[in-house]
Amino acid sequence: MRQDRIGFLFLTPALIAVVIFYLLPVVMTAVFAFTNMSTATGIRGGGYLVTEQTLRDLSGHGLTGATLSQLADAGYEVDTEGLAALAATFGDRLAGHIEAELGGESFATSRELERALRDLRAPELRITRDRKQAASLFQRSVLNIRHDTADALRDELTGAGIPGGDHDMIIEAAYTGWSWTMRNFELLLSLPSTARYALNTLIYVALTLVLFNVGLGLLLAIATFYLPKPSAAVFRAIWFMPRILPPVLYVLMWKWLMWDNGFLASALAPFGVERINWMLHSEYHAWVAIILINGVVGASFGMIIFASAIKAIPQTLLMAAEVDGATRWQQVRYVILPQMRWPILFVTAYQTLSLLASFEYILLSTGGGPGSATEVWAMAAFRTALNNYGGNLQYGMGATFALVLVIIGTVLSLLYLRFFNFQALLAKPRIER
């Protein structure tokens, strides 16, 4: 088999996965962002249904009282359906009788139908109350009948004698599914919480990245580099652990440390420090908590990258520096740090992207609280669309939030391409055929 055929064959499963779970979602995020899709509208287009609520909405929009009452009460029709219901209540005999006399006839009001029924002089309908009940069985209303298409509803409205001019307004109000809208973007721009989320995200990414992923990561890598092997291994293990522990467990440990009857509170109590929830006591506490929790995981990532970069520095370079009389600090400053430029850039670029989108540790620790003090953008998207306590999940609005991140993510990961020596990656396969 030719190698390009094998190549495509070998790539196919991965390509399918990429199309379904990357390309399609990117496109769909953009599509959903322009809809009002939510739990209420469902996700598969809806039907047309006029409800009491629709009537209330419509009366607020200037529909005349006459039309409204016509919608609620669209007259009386002696049809098989009504007859069946009547037979169940009053017996087959009466049903047959009514069918013979009035079958197929229509009446505008209950009163007219009742009069016609009285004229039948049937023994079952001697009392007015029974006639009213019987008449009600033939009442036809547009209300609470689901239509799959707008035309079906329009036919129904025409049948009920509702003026054609009102049809469009009613049909629009009766639509239960999602529809296209720009409202999400208007909301996004007008809501004050948007700015809050954006600012939170910025603070969260910047502080975690600078203090921990790069700062502490570099410190740990350099410090463990200079330590004797056994102690270096111990410290690396301590700081590596957060990266491999399941997030749920890792955050549990922090909760135990910071909870109101957790370790910190208990340990400080003998010193007269008030027992507080160190994680959620104030906005300030919450911020420290989420940056610490994310930062320690980030620091271990930085440590690994930087440690291997330091290891790649030729040992003779450091020996030369030492022979030249450089102190340890001067070695770090003039030999090690200059070699860290690319690793630092890499960690910054790569971790900016993952921090931007990550909310796992925040969700598990502060849950965005107190209030929405530590709610970041990605978490707002998640909450709006997938996990809000109100129960009405607003997929469209959530997608709008997500779309912003998707766009930023795409742009940044395209930029990230530049961090690689792409030409070298592209080196032609040495077996050409």
The pair of three-digit structure tokens given for residue 19, joined into one six-digit string: 């199309």
Residue in the block written with tokens 């809050």: 196
Q: Are the CB atoms for 240 and 304 separated by under 8 Å?
A: yes
Tell which positions 116-155 bind other proteins, by CB under 8 A.
Answer: none
Decide: 361 and 335 in contact? Cβ < 8 Å: no
Size of the site for other proteins (CB under 8 A): 116
Residues between 160 and 199 with contacts to other proteins, criterion CB under 8 A: none
* Residue span binding other proteins (CB under 8 A) among the ranges 129-137, 152-160, 199-207, 216-224: 216-224
Q: Rule CB under 8 A: which of 11-50 touch other proteins? A: 11, 13-15, 17-18, 20-22, 24-26, 28-29, 32, 37, 43-44
366 binds other proteins (CB under 8 A): no
Give Cβ neighbours of residue 105 (< 8 Å, ≥ 6 apart). 77, 78, 116
- What does 336-384 look like in DSSP terms, one character per residue? IHHHTHHHHHHHHHHHHHHHHH--HHHHHTTTT-STTTT--HHHHHHHH
Q: Is 202 in the site for other proteins (CB under 8 A)?
A: no
Measured distance CA(107)–CA(119) in Å, rounded: 14
CB atoms within 10 A of CB 257: 16
Question: Which of 73, 260 has the CB closer to other proteins?
Answer: 260
Taking CB under 8 A as the criterion, the residue among 253, 283, 348, 388 binding other proteins is 253
Pairwise CA distance, residues 431 & 7, whole Å: 13
Q: In sequence order, what are the beta bridge partners of 180?
A: 35
How far apart CA 157 and CA 75 sit, in angstroms, is 12
Cβ atoms 93, 126 nearer than 8 A: no
Query: In the complex with other proteins, which residue's Cβ is closer, 190 or 421?
Result: 421
The one among 87, 187, 223, 288 contacting other proteins by CB under 8 A? 223
Residue 92 tokens, joined: 């087959």
Least distance from other proteins to the Cβ atom of residue 271, Å = 13
Distances in whole angstroms, Cα of residue 405 to Cα of each of 106, 365, 387, 413, 427 = 60, 22, 18, 12, 33
Give the one residue of 137, 216, 280, 336 binding other proteins; rule: CB under 8 A.
Answer: 216
Q: Kindly write out the interface string for residues 400-419 of this chain, putting x where it contacts other proteins by CB under 8 A and - elsewhere.
A: --x--xx--xx-xxx-xx--
Q: Does 297 bind other proteins (CB under 8 A)?
A: no
CA distance 343 to 311: 12
Minimum distance from residue 253 beta carbon to other proteins (Å): 4
CB of 148 to other proteins, least distance (A): 19
Interface residue with other proteins, options 95, 290, 353, 380 (CB under 8 A): 353
Could you give the CA distance from residue 151 to residue 154 in angstroms, rounded to a whole number?
A: 5
Over the window 319 to 348, marking each residue x when it contacts other proteins by CB under 8 A and - when it does not, the resulting string is x--x-----x--x--------------x--
Among 171, 305, 344, 373, binds other proteins (CB under 8 A): 305
Q: Which tokens go with 195?
A: 């700015």
Residue 228: CB atoms within 10 A of its CB come to 7
Sheet strands (E) in 150-306: none
206 binds other proteins, rule: CB under 8 A: no
Closest distance of CB 209 from other proteins, Å: 14
241 touching other proteins, by CB under 8 A: yes
Closest CB 171 distance from other proteins, rounded Å = 26
From the list 259, 278, 290, 291, which residue makes contact with other proteins (rule: CB under 8 A)?
A: 259
Under the criterion CB under 8 A, does residue 274 sit at the interface with other proteins? Answer: no
Strand 106-107 to 76-77 pairing: antiparallel
Residue of 149, 158, 193, 266 that binds other proteins (CB under 8 A): 266
